[in-house]
Amino acid sequence: MSTVANSRLGLHPAFYIASWIFFSNLTILFNKWLLDDAGFPVILTWWHMTFATLATQVLARTTTILDGRHKVKMTPKLYMKAVIPIGFLYSGSMVTSTLVYLYLSVPFIQMLKAAAPVVTLLVGWLWGVEHPTWLKFFYITIIALGVVMASAGEIHFSWPGFVYQVAGILLESVRVTMIQSLVSAEGLSMDPLVSLYYYAPVCAVTNFVLSLASGWSTIEWTHAAEVGFWMLLLNAVVAFLLNVSSVLLIGKTSGLILVLTGIFKNILLVVAAVAIWGTPITSLQLVGYTLALFGMLLYQSGWDEAKTSLTYPFQYIYQNTRLPPFSRKPWLGGAAFLITLLLLLAWTREGQTYHGQSSATETAEGIDRLSSGWLTWLHVKDGKWQIGSD
């Protein structure tokens, strides 16, 4: 959608920020619930990409939201050079990042994702597109230290989940670096929805092949039937709306606001996961995650901006909101109070074990199902994790 079209809507930038936060966190929580209930991670990613392929094709022919694709001079050579390999990386990142939800809690996954800037910087440095300074190395050291502290404090640590998450971060970092390289070399610049328009068909085919290789016939389809088609359709719609909200958010706020919004979104997601699943968080994890988020802020904006940016989102909303003056501070205060209360609740559960609904890996049937394909080469035998096939 063009900037002019957006301006006609007359919506406040806070609406686009709130929409992106809502759909981003809802997608993650929704996927976690589905995987715990049904347990078909690879097929779920194929379903998402199939729906995204159909949706982007329909939107391209009926709306103007994908008109940005006309600015991309896509040729068969460029498609083979850029779209297909990046699509493969996207599929790999998507599959591994989805498999991790079978093993780790949502809060811990978000803590591990804080290491993404570290991996991306190192991959870009090796690729030759990044030229980091010693100051940036110092910042990513802070992030790495925070992630290590958060990992050390995790009560329900899982090596398979940790490996899948690291693999997902690595694949995503290579994908981002390839895109950055192509932008500088080929002038290939696309917004998230246009990117989805080109990459979704490749990912759909790739994920379909991966789902066949991982044992499509061994999937317990009764679980999918229990979830229901309409619930799966709703899940795909929510995931697609996340991409739409990302596009609408572009150009509405400054880069600093986007960075701070991302950090705020991650904190809200951790709080929501604690409230929904009762996931225990230790004090060491809270300190480590706070340190990692602070390192991300320093890495993205630098020390000078970081000093004043911690309260900037609230100042921004306060100065630009259309709410009556008397209702601004109570609204912000109430939100801050709720977040603080939930974080304190998570902290007080330190050392407690949460006995929630069993996930797919917590039952013998789920373990057999997960061990049936080559994608889950980390598997269980006689109560111990093993690598490779029997």
- Stated pTM of the model: 0.70
Per-residue burial over 67-87, b if 16 or more Cβ lie within 10 Å, else e, is: ebbeebeeeeeeeebbbeebb
What pLDDT digit, counting tens, does each position of 25-64 carry? Answer: 899 888 888 887 767 788 889 999 999 999 999 999 998 8
What pLDDT digit, counting tens, does each position of 94-149 carry? Answer: 999 999 988 988 888 988 888 888 888 888 888 887 787 888 888 888 888 988 88
C-alpha 316 chain-centroid distance: 25
Looking at residue 332, its pLDDT comes to: 42
Looking at residue 240, its pLDDT comes to: 92
Q: Average of pLDDT values for 14-19?
A: 83
For residue 372, name the pLDDT band (cuts at 50, 70, 90).
very low
- Residue 15 structure tokens: 């609406």
Q: How far apart are CA 4 and CA 53, in angstroms?
A: 26
Looking at residue 337, its pLDDT comes to: 52
Which of 230 and 345 is assigned the larger pLDDT?
Answer: 230
From residue 151, how far is each of 252, 288, 289 by CA, in Å?
A: 35, 8, 9
Q: How far apart are CA 295 and CA 145, in angstroms?
A: 9
For residue 223, name the pLDDT band (cuts at 50, 70, 90).
low
Q: Is the pLDDT of residue 198 over 60?
A: yes
From residue 367, how far is each of 34, 98, 272, 372, 380 by CA, in Å?
A: 17, 16, 28, 9, 7
Q: How far apart are CA 110 and CA 156, in angstroms?
A: 14
Q: What's the whole-number average pLDDT of the chain?
A: 74
Q: Where are the alpha helices (DSSP H) in 114-214?
A: 116-127, 134-152, 159-186, 192-213
Q: Is the pLDDT of residue 165 over 90?
A: yes
Q: Is the pLDDT of residue 173 over 60?
A: yes
Q: Average of pLDDT values for 241-256?
A: 72
Least confident of 60-69, 142-151, 219-228, 320-329: 320-329
* % of the chain at pLDDT higher than 90: 16
From residue 38, how far is each of 41, 97, 224 by CA, in Å?
A: 9, 17, 6
Looking at residue 3, its pLDDT comes to: 44
